[in-house]
Amino acid sequence: MQRWVYITPLLIAIGLGAVLFTALGKDPTKLETARLHDPLPAFSLPALLDKSHTLTEQDLKGELALLNVWATWCPSCQVEHEYLNELSSRGVNIIGLNYKDERVAATRWLTKLGNPYKFIIYDEQGRLGFDLGVYGAPETYLIDKQGTVRYRHVGVVNHQVWQGIFMPLIEKYQLNN
Amino acid sequence: MNKILRFLILILFVNLPVSASIDLYEFKDEETRGRYTKLTKELRCPKCQNQDIADSNSPISSDMRREVHRLLLEGKEDSEVVDFMVERFGEFVSYKPKVHSSTYLLWYGPWLLVFIGALFIGLLIRSRSVSNAKESDQALEANNKKNVEELLSQYSKENHKDK
């Protein structure tokens, strides 16, 4: 009996230490999306490069897609852009969400840095972003064929993120449908 | 001297608490304004670690404040406003997260640790007092033994004297 009185706190300390250890290295500023497994919020916004064309959530159905939230005021987005160009050239379906930006500047940016997007939603007020739970840029969402949000990545998408996070998810949701 | 005095007075005014955001929102009555103030203090900015949206300068906080104002003007309840934000940004934005299976550890964990700690102390005290009791029993026995031995030796001395 005596022995257990002394061993139990030690076990608890070890257990607690193990639990807390698993959280080490996780970035607390990267939040999980509250929209996980929810359908994309309804919206009606113009396309960036074609003012007359209105886009809705229906335009994101039918094909598995990355929805990349970007803006010209976001320096990390510029860093990420080259890799997006590469993914796009390999056939990955990427849709742009130009978030709280300015049409002219955004268009000029794409002309200069390349356009990897199938089309770009011009979310000037950031309303679609707000409904999605966007709280900064860049962010990239994985949208499945039914238009359901399946993942949200906060931060740049680079090779490690693509290989380690997105590819397994894409495999999973490609098959599910 | 005058310059120093004026400088010190200037610093004094700079140190007065200033609201980070100067949003000019109109409310139909003071009660609604009070609710706005309360809600913006109870919603956390998702981008800044540990600032409420009343306090934060970030664009997302300013967007959230605008939405809180709009929802209150639409006649929504406080709980509906919080739900609206949690739906979009997750439980993280509420300073009072719901008691959900995912937050049991957060809410009850500390109580569990206090309980285990108290149990441990209780058992420790009991085992100490048990061993103390054993010790005093042993001391008592030893004492008794000594007394008996003394009595016996006295008795045998007296006996020998008599004889």
The string of pLDDT tens digits covering residues A41-98 is 999 999 999 999 999 999 999 999 999 999 999 999 999 999 999 999 999 999 999 9
Ordered alpha helix ranges (H), B43-103: 59-73, 78-89
Q: Which chain A residue has the Cα nearest residue B118?
A: A9
* Spans of all domains in chain B: 18-98, 99-163
- On the question of pLDDT at B96 being above 60, the answer is yes
Position A1 confidence tier, pLDDT thresholds 50, 70, 90: low
Looking at the domain that runs over B18-98, which CATH code has it been given? 1.10.8.640
For residue A129, the model assigns a pLDDT of 97
**Whole-model pTM?**
0.75
Joined tokens for residue A4: 């257990």
| Domains recognised in chain A with CATH numbers | 29-176 (3.40.30.10)
For residue A176, the model assigns a pLDDT of 63
Using CB atoms, pick whichever of A12, A31, A131 lies closest to residue B92: A31
- On the question of pLDDT at B15 being above 70, the answer is no
Residues 94-153 of A with CB under 8 A from B: 100, 126, 130-136
Q: How far apart are CA A77 and CA A81, in angstroms?
A: 6
B60 touches chain A (CB under 8 A): yes
Chain B environment of A1 (Cβ under 8 Å): 127
- On the question of pLDDT at B102 being above 80, the answer is no
Counted across chains A and B, CB pairs separated by less than 8 A come out at: 47
Using CB atoms, pick whichever of A5, A29, A34 lies closest to residue B89: A34
Count CB-CB contacts under 10 A for residue B108.
Answer: 12
- On the question of pLDDT at A177 being above 80, the answer is no
Contacts 24+ apart (CB under 8 A), A103-108: A103/A48, A103/A51, A105/A72, A106/A48, A106/A71, A106/A72, A107/A48, A107/A49
Using CB atoms, pick whichever of A8, A33, A130 lies closest to residue B63: A130
